[in-house]
Amino acid sequence: MWVFLNDRFVPKEEAVVSVFDHGFLYGDGVYETLRSYGARIFMRDQHLARLRRSAEAIGLTIPIPDAQWRELLHESMRRNEVGNDHVDAYLRITVSRGEGEIGLDPALCPRSTVVIMTKALHPSPAVLSRDGVSLTVAQTRRNLPAALSPQIKSTNFLNNILAKRESIAAGTFDSLFLNWKEELTECTISNLFFISNGTVHTPALDCGILDGITRAIVITLAEEEGLPVKEGHYHLTDLRQAAECFLTNTSMEVMPVSRVDAFPIGDGRPGPLTRRIQARFAASRHRFLEPLAP
Ligand code: PLP
């Protein structure tokens, strides 16, 4: 595996970062996860824009000029022999505060650390999409936006890891977070949707969630399907009464949910509107891919 580290590609064994990096010491950094379909990256500019927004929110300089990202991501896929006709690519960009003396002041770190890691993207097992996945409602609450906004895609991922530990202990696919007001928010790496009486519902951004790129596409596609979409403030009782539920993220796309704790969603099988949205997503995703290289 070849890893881009700061200014060049190095073999995986040489891709090492200092123990003084504030990403390691304090979780002081931001990241993005992207994917390709074949050689074309999905929503590339939107992911890069969100990376910039996250960095700006923590006052972090990204030392790579905007115009270079496209070539770097593609070189990373080429070197790792992914993102081609045979295998899709999973790409992760990490930008940390960089190496500096111990202490919280970002000025201690003169240069951010930039890493691009790329590997084969293995789609979720077909059985999950066929039968739907189960969720645990986490005891851990989603970060309070005024304390650490979920809109910052931060390398400080402990909030999500604590909730993930709960779902692992419960033997479920993932955990669903409530916020400080007991409202539904999102899962550890995905956004939440549910369908009631033919309307597609999803928690509003101000519930304290990441503004998922797949979430935005699914809202558009559901509306194109003629389904009303509402972004709102919801509780567990709304979800338990829902007919259908699904999750969205870049690598999973649209994943049906069949159970939340002990409660089946609908009849405990992925529902027809979820299937329609999945099919529309599959048929439309070419619209959201970068153009082929000239
Ligand atoms: N919510 C959280 C907490 C995430 O970490 C992610 C993706 O990593 C998402 C939602 C989905 O975002 P996207 O659709 O942009 O991949």
What is the predicted pLDDT for the residue at 215?
A: 98
Name the band, by pLDDT with cuts 50, 70 and 90, for residue 285: very high
Q: Which of 156, 188, 210 to mutate to test the pocket of ligand 1 (most atoms within 8 A of CB)?
A: 210
Which residue, judged by its Cα, is nearest atom 5 of ligand 1?
Answer: 189
Average pLDDT, the chain: 97
Nearest CA to ligand 1 atom 12: 212
- The residue to mutate among 148, 189, 211, 288, having the most atoms of ligand 1 within 8 angstroms of its beta carbon, is 189
Residue of 250, 251, 252, 255 with the most ligand 1 atoms within 8 Å of its CB, for mutation: 250
In angstroms, what is the span from residue 101 Cα to ligand 1's centroid?
Answer: 32
Please work out whether the CB of residue 248 comes within 6 Å of at least one atom of ligand 1: yes
Which whole number is the average pLDDT over 239-261? 97
pLDDT tens digits, one per residue of 189-233: 999 999 999 999 999 999 999 999 999 999 999 999 999 999 999
Q: Residue 100 Cα, ligand 1 centroid: separation in angstroms?
A: 30
pLDDT in tens, 93-117: 999 999 999 999 999 999 999 999 9
Hey, what long-range contacts does 155-159 have (CB within 8 A, 24 or more apart)? 155/23, 155/27, 155/28, 155/29, 155/30, 155/31, 155/94, 155/96, 156/26, 156/27, 156/28, 156/29, 157/27, 158/27
Which residue minimizes the CA distance to atom 1 of ligand 1?
190
pLDDT at 294: 58
Q: What is the pTM of this model?
A: 0.97
Which residues make beta-bridge pairs with 203? 232
Could you give the percent of the chain with pLDDT greater than 70? 99
Q: How far apart are CA 61 and CA 212, in angstroms?
A: 23
CA pair distance 263, 90, nearest whole angstrom: 33
Question: What pLDDT sits at residue 12?
Answer: 97
pLDDT value at residue 292: 79
DSSP state of 291: P
Regarding the beta carbon of 191 and ligand 1, being less than 6 Å apart is answered yes
